[in-house]
Structure 1
Amino acid sequence: MEDYFVWVTTRRIKPGTLEEFERAWRPGSTPHGMRRAYAYWSEDGQEITGVSFWDSREACDSWRNSDGEKRRREAMAPYVVEEQEGFYRGGELTIPGR
């Protein structure tokens, strides 16, 4: 199984601010070491989960401590009510019958 390094963030945002939040949330350029990123929204548009895949824990930590990420978080702050995040290591599961 190939190991993946994954950063997951879930944010609850103020009602009616999804469009503004989404603009603030996207980084200006692809962070070094990021392989892929996905975003998932709740039906009411008030909870967003971001999942990003990284080359290593160090690459993710480097981005998280960068000025670019600091500016991005400052831009998101007016819309965020609550935030949770975690860093994980794992791999893709094999689904029987496929």
Structure 2
Amino acid sequence: MQEHYVWVTTRRLQPGTLEDFERAWRPEPAPQGLHRAYAYWSEDGQEITGVSFWDSRESCDAWRGSESEARRREAMAPYVAEEREGFYRGRELSLPSATRG
């Protein structure tokens, strides 16, 4: 199975700021080494979890230390009440076949 390198960030947003936050969080330019990125919102729009897949930890670290990322974080800051983040390695899980009754 292929191993993935994943950066996960969960942010609690200031009430009523989801639309403003969405405009601020998109990276420009697209980071080198980034394969895919997903965002998941809570139903109340006050928490958002971003999951990004990278070709290596080094690619992710290079982006995290870049001026573009610093500008992006500065643009997001007014809308963020709390932030948790971490880097992970992992694999896709094989799900068992459904049994027929």
- The aligned counterpart of 2:40 is 40
- Give, in angstroms, the shift of residue 28 of structure 1: 1.6
TM-score, normalised via structure 1 length: 0.98
Cα distance in 2 for residues equivalent to 1:26 and 1:88:
21
Cα distance in 2 for residues equivalent to 1:58 and 1:34:
11
Cα distance in 2 for residues equivalent to 1:53 and 1:29:
16
Q: Which consecutive unaligned segments of at least 5 residues does structure 1 have? A: none
- Which aligned pairs between 1:44-55 and structure 2 lie closer than 5 A? 44-55=44-55
Give deviations 1:31-52, integer Å, cap 9, x for gaps.
0000000000000000000000
- The aligned counterpart of 1:77 is 77
- Give, in angstroms, the shift of residue 30 of structure 1: 1.3
Cα distance in 2 for residues equivalent to 1:25 and 1:57:
21
Amino acid across the alignment from 2:57: R
Cα distance in 2 for residues equivalent to 1:4 and 1:35:
10
Amino acid across the alignment from 2:71: R
- Which aligned pairs between 1:1-98 and structure 2 lie closer than 5 A? 1-97=1-97
TM-score, normalised via structure 2 length: 0.95
**Helix, strand or coil at the partner of 2:32:** coil
Percent identity between matched residues is: 73
- Give, in angstroms, the shift of residue 6 of structure 1: 0.1
Q: Which consecutive unaligned segments of at least 5 residues does structure 2 have? A: none
Amino acid across the alignment from 1:10: T
Bigger CA radius of gyration: 2
